A = this chain, B = another copy of it.
Amino acid sequence: MDFLKSYAVLFEEKLQNLNFPQKPETLYDPQRYILQNGGKRIRPILTLISCGLCGSSAERAIPAALAVELLHNFTLIHDDIMDQADSRRGEPSVHKKWDTATAILAGDSMFTHSMLQLQNLPDDVNHKQISHIFLNAVNVVCEGQAMDMEFESRSDVTVEEYHKMIAGKTGALISAAMQMGGMCANASEQHLDQLSIIGESLGLAFQIQDDWLDVVADPDTFGKRKAGDIYEGKKTFLMLTALERCSENEREKITACLADKPLSSKEVGEIISLFESCNVISDTRKHFLKAYNRAEKALQQFGESNYKQDLQQLIKFLKNRES
């Protein structure tokens, strides 16, 4: 995504210059570690672009962008403990490299530092309002994560509930990231609403597209095992849609498969056939494209600028991504 390079370079420099204290080492080393371990920095870049979209320079929003990225990394540290994920981006996760206690505390500290970043915003930014947007988003992220964990032991999850869950886990922070960028430019309520719609739509579209790519993408490009989510018995958008559309017999059969993970190749093949016969794959594509279109339409409400072009290009890129 070369068109985002100038934002990425600007942001990365600020992020790597954060200068966490040297001690206590067990508190700050894990935070340095996860921040040095890369990441696409999509959320903070959206904060910077949103500030520009609303008529200010992107630089004004740097503290908000840092808050968003620190928050995101805090959730990664804690989520990896909760999901018992041993690695992230090819490196050991924090709780594996250190231990669970250290990872919990490093995450708590990172959340605190994330909020403290908002202290560095320009004086004319409404601190109370921007904190409110940010914290409400964190709250919705927590609710989304709780729903996701509850779904694992439930066999009656609906597509509607799934929407609510990903709106929390993915959409809320992206939406807040964009609104916060707008607030750094003292944007109008109307523009903040549009930014919120763009963020929500992008989060929803991205997540559902991820579920779809699991089934349709070339594994070499996508970097994950083909139909890996199905093998793991995950309740993806496709799976839940299929469960709502199929016959009672088929539903019972799938539910039995999901209760006995991992699934066999034969079971996975049967489920993909069912997806096809119920039009789940093509309808899922329509569904996430609709969300991307909603984002594009909301973006039209902003005046012309390089920022607008960059965001248009980003949405186009995401829409057509194969990995």
Q: Footprint of B on A, CB under 8 Å?
A: 21, 24-27, 78, 81-82, 100-102, 104-105, 107-109, 111-113, 115-116, 118-119, 127-128, 131-132, 135-136, 138-139, 142-143, 145-147, 149-150
Contact A149 B26 (CB under 8 A): yes
A107 to chain B, nearest CB (A): 8
Complex CA–CA separation, A249 to B79 (angstroms): 48
Supposing A112-B138, A127-B127, A138-B112 touch, asked if A105 and B26 sit within 8 A by C-beta, the answer is no
Partner of A142, one of B101, B112, B119: B112
Q: Which residues from B are CB-within-8-Å of A101?
A: 81-82, 149
Complex Cα distance, B109 from A113, in Å, reads 16
> Are B146 and A27 touching (Cβ within 8 A)?
yes
A104 lies within 8 A of B105 (CB): no
21 contacts between A and B (CB under 8 A): A24-B146, A78-B104, A78-B105, A81-B100, A81-B101, A81-B104, A82-B101, A82-B104, A100-B100, A105-B142, A105-B145, A107-B108, A109-B143, A112-B135, A115-B131, A115-B135, A116-B136, A119-B128, A119-B131, A127-B128, A127-B131
Residues of B within 8 A of A111 (CB): 108, 111
**What B residues does A150 contact at CB under 8 A?**
24-26
Specify the chain B residue showing the minimal Cβ separation from A137: B112
Q: Which residues of B contact A26 (CB under 8 A)?
A: 146, 149-150
Task: State whether A142 touches B108 (Cβ < 8 A).
Answer: yes
Q: Within 8 Å CB of A24, what residues of B?
A: 143, 146-147, 150
List chain B residues, Cβ under 8 A from A138.
108, 112
Contact partners of A104 in chain B: CB under 8 A = 78, 81-82, 104
The answer for the CA separation of A136 and B109 in the assembled complex, in Å, is: 10
Output the least CB separation between A169 and chain B (Å): 12
Please name all residues of chain B whose beta carbon is closer than 8 Å to the beta carbon of A132 when the two chains form the complex: 116, 119
